[in-house]
């Protein structure tokens, strides 16, 4: 089988599956991760509304979810995945564990971005009578947006890695192709194609993230 046939019949569908997994999982992870990130920044000592109990609980939950190796997490939550999407294998099923794995990572990078804001800007907003909600959404997120974009870029790249690992246990995508053809059938050429495509994919994502960062940071 030549490269053209291999690309059209094997690689192209796998690229589509990987793109689907990565985009949906990243969007969900960022949405879910934003909530604890904001709560962690607000309730931390010296935050807008310090609350030691809430901060400690959230901090432990985020760290706990981040400590699970992805493959173990994916297998451990098979019952939950089946409950959500009705099955445990396939591209859509893989989105559930990928999202759960990526959400705490996204939460931490967003939290770090929000903590980089100069306290003087927040104090200035307070002196003008801004409410906590106004400070969070109109000052903190706005000021941290370029850094948040870089953090989301890191999250997307992390999700690409998770999607490849998901392929080893029936998640589909490029990881599945690499295992089926490159590992089990010893078709080195397909393994090489898969690696090259993943490298290009990651480089493209990083480039796009950098361009958006530069545009927002002007």
CATH of residue 152:
1.10.3720.10
Contact partners, residue 133, CB within 8 Å, separation at least 6: none
pLDDT bin (cut points 50, 70, 90) of residue 1 is: low
pLDDT of 4 > 80? The answer is no
Looking at residue 53, its pLDDT comes to 92
- Mean pLDDT of the region 131-155: 90
Q: What's the number of domains the chain is made of? A: 1
DSSP per-residue codes, 84-143: HHS-SSSHHHHHHHHHHHHHHHHHHHHHHHHHTS-HHHHHHHHHTT--HHHIIIIIIHHH
pLDDT of 188 > 90? The answer is no
**CB distance 48 to 132 below 8 Å:** yes
pLDDT bin (cut points 50, 70, 90) of residue 196 is: very high
Kindly report the three-state secondary structure assignment for every residue of 2-62. Answer: CHHHHHHHHHHHHHHHHHHHHHHHHHHHHHHHHHHHHHHHHHCCCCCCCCHHHHHHHHHHH
- Mean pLDDT of the region 108-112: 93
Q: How many residues does the chain have?
A: 218
pLDDT of 180 > 80? The answer is yes
Residues 23 and 19: their CA atoms lie apart, in Å, by: 6
pLDDT bin (cut points 50, 70, 90) of residue 133 is: confident
Buried b (16+ CB within 10 A) or exposed e, 123-146: eebeeeeeeeeebbeebbbebbeb
Give tens-digit pLDDT for 67-95. Answer: 888 888 888 898 999 999 888 888 899 99
The CA-atom distances, in angstroms, between 60 and each of 56, 66, 74, 101, 124 are 6, 10, 20, 15, 32
Q: What region does 2 belong to: left with phi over 0, alpha with psi -120 to 50, or beta?
A: beta
CA atoms within 13 A on the CB side of 170: 8
Contact partners, residue 163, CB within 8 Å, separation at least 6: 18, 21, 22, 25, 94, 98, 171, 173, 174, 175
pTM of the model: 0.89
Distance of CA 78 to the CA centre of its chain: 20
- Mean pLDDT of the region 143-160: 92
Mean pLDDT value across the chain = 89
Domain around 84: 3-216
Give tens-digit pLDDT for 6-56. Answer: 777 888 899 999 999 999 999 999 999 999 999 999 999 888 888 999 999
């Amino acid at each position: 089988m030549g490269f053209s046939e291999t690309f059209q019949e094997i690689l192209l569908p796998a690229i589509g599956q990987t793109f689907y997994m990565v985009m949906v999982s990243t969007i969900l992870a960022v949405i879910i991760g934003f909530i604890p990130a904001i709560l962690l920044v607000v309730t931390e000592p010296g935050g807008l509304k310090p609350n030691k109990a809430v901060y400690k609980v959230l901090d432990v939950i985020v760290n706990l979810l981040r400590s699970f190796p992805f493959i173990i997490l994916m297998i451990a939550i098979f019952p939950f995945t089946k409950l959500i999407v009705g099955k445990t294998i396939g591209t859509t099923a893989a989105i559930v564990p990928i999202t759960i794995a990526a959400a705490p990572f996204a939460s931490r990078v967003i939290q770090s971005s929000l903590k980089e804001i100069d306290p003087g800007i927040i104090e200035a907003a307070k002196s003008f009578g801004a409410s906590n909600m106004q400070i969070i959404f109109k000052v903190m997120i706005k000021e941290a947006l370029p850094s948040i974009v870089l953090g989301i870029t890191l999250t997307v790249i992390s999700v690409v890695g998770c999607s490849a690992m998901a392929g080893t246990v029936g998640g589909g995508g490029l990881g599945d192709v690499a295992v089926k053809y490159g590992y089990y059938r010893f078709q080195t050429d397909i393994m090489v194609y898969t690696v090259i495509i993943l490298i290009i994919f990651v480089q493209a994502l990083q480039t796009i993230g950098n361009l958006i960062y530069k545009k927002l940071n002007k």
